[in-house]
Chain A
Amino acid sequence: MSYLQISRVGKTFARGASSTEVLRNIDLEIEQGEFVSIIGHSGCGKSTLLNLIAGLTEVTTGGIILENAEVNAPGPDRAVVFQNHSLLPWLTVYENVNLAVAKVFGRTKTPAQRHSWIMDNLNLVQMAHARDKRPTEISGGMKQRVGIARALAMEPKILLLDEPFGALDALTRAHLQDQMMDIHQRLGNTMIMITHDVDEAVLLSDRIVMMTNGPAATIGEVLAVPLNRPRRRLELATDRTYLRCREAVLKFLYERHRFVEAA
């Protein structure tokens, strides 16, 4: 049995008399240590799927099982990096990470251990220098890195990233993607990342989950990316496999996907 098992999951939002079926029949299995991207057009239900895995919203049909336990509530074993960082503005960088560490390791680690664990995670995303700054005083990319540090500091079974680099400029994004690959390489976390960016998906992922258009979106295709790690973006720019994967995703999104929409 897989590490994370999503079986026949559907989600229907009901508001009064009207209801919208956003997701239908999602089947997906993810192994421990895998990096999986979810790609699809805006509004198809990617965030909804991620929130279901996080337990922030409840499934309407089907079920999600993580390491033999059913997911039915949010918890720190499924840390989320939100699209707009969602750091608490009244806390410093350090305190933001500490909020998570104090809650998750309040009983199991001593204060000294917790402190060094916080600093470890800030170092991991190279943000230790800004530990006493407030979120308003640092750049968008830095905020996103702190958000990642906070999530990693929970020592989650799965890291869920909702378009973590969506709002960033291309250079910052490339830099953070490299850091993300480095972290994944070092820690071997299981990660699920939503993205709009085809290159980002191919560069980072072991598998790319491509979703059809909503309403009642489902998984259209799953593409394995058989590239060796560590990956270097410059070398990959001309790599055959890379280009083939990239083309497959583009074709799905801009050929087959249109066809689906018209049907």
Chain B
Amino acid sequence: MTLPATTDTPIAAIPLKPRTTATVTALRPASRRIAFAAIAANLARTILPPLVVLAVLLAVWQVVFSQPGSSLPPPSQVWTESYDLIVDPFFVYGSQDIGLGLRVFTSLQRVAVGFGLAALVGVALGALVGQSIWMMRGLDPLFQILRTVPPLAWLPISLAAFMDSGPSAIFVIFITAIWPVIINTAVGVRNIPEDYRNVARVLRLNQLEFFTRIMVPAAAPYIFSGLRIGVGLSWLAIVAAEMLTGGVGIGFFIWDAWNSSRLTDIIVALVYIGVVGFVLDRLVALLGTIVTRGTARN
């Protein structure tokens, strides 16, 4: 909490007048120019390389797939054929004809339920497994095997079990995302220093107090790395899950576009899925750093 404040102090301490006035600018021109230059350099370092790579890739793609009879559309064709989808994420032309932003939103709701359940159950199960060495020995091999089963492979089983597409889809997301949460939580709980346990025992904390006051905060860095992997996996499962449900999700959109041979639409949808997955990952990571602030090292 004190860190941001220290970086602000030199700026906050000096100006006697608003910084927009000419006097202030004249007083500290050097430092302002340096600050701008530093920010610009920083931006250039992080943003320029990927932009260059992207441009090169697009160019190569354009050249390679521009020959007549090529199997995939070039970027220019994606732009012209899927123009609607690219420029407006939120259009509504009919119940099945809506922008990709709205579709992503539908899918996100599904993932929120599936992943939310996976997080809750995963942390609880992980805590249980981490607390008992015998649970660990018995269940860990099972988890290690189950976690490698791909989302699609769960489809038939979950349909047979739930006999309804809605819950089946949620289950596919849930079962894909839960393993890393369980495993990481268990490892985190097992690594709780003996001293913390002794503190809890001297204070006679009960099970619930121990879980909330000691176990979860102590294992939080591990839990969050599990959640981060889990959210990525549940987003990976979205296409598989939405094959079941149909409707307006982004996953079903890809399946549907494939069936009606709209390749350019699929490409746009892939970009959407990639970007949203990236944002989800960063969101969970950010949440993790906020929650575990000060916990990681001591």
Contacts and interface: CB of A to CB of B under 8 A. Distances in A.
21 contacts: A75-B202, A75-B204, A76-B203, A79-B202, A86-B193, A86-B196, A86-B199, A87-B298, A88-B217, A88-B218, A89-B294, A89-B295, A90-B217, A90-B292, A99-B203, A103-B203, A104-B203, A134-B294, A136-B297, A136-B298, A154-B202
B121 to A, nearest CB: 24
Q: How large is the interface on A (under 10, 10 to 19, 20 to 34, 35 or more residues)?
A: 20 to 34
Interface string A80-109: 101010111110000000011001100000
Tell me if A's interface is mostly helix, strand, loop or mixed. Answer: loop
Interface size bucket, B side? 20 to 34
Contacts, number: 58
A121 to B, nearest CB: 15
A82 B217 contact: no
Contacts of B260: none
B213 A99 contact: yes
Given A54-B202, A75-B204, A135 B298 contact: yes
Interface string B151-195: 000000000000000000000000000000000000000000101
Contacts of A75: 202, 204
A78 interface: yes
Nearest to B216: A90
Contacts of B201: 56, 74
Interface of A: 54, 56, 74-76, 78-80, 82, 84, 86-90, 99-100, 103-104, 134-137, 154
A90 B294 contact: yes
B298 A74 contact: no
B191 to A, nearest CB: 14
A80 B198 CA distance: 9
A82 B220 contact: no
Nearest to B204: A75
A90 B198 contact: no
Contacts of B204: 74-76, 103
A89 B199 CA distance: 13
Interface of B: 2, 193, 195-196, 198-199, 201-205, 209, 213-214, 217-218, 220, 292, 294-295, 297-298
Contacts of A54: 202
B199 A88 contact: yes
Contacts of A56: 198, 201-202
A192 to B, nearest CB: 14
Contacts of A82: 195, 198-199
Contacts of B203: 76, 99-100, 103-104, 154
Nearest to B193: A86
Q: State the 7 A-B residue pairs at the shortest beta-carbon distance, nearest first.
A: A86-B195, A89-B298, A90-B217, A90-B295, A74-B201, A134-B294, A103-B203
Task: Among B199, B202, B203, find the residue whose CB has the most chain A CB atoms closer than 10 A.
Answer: B202
A76 B220 CA distance: 27
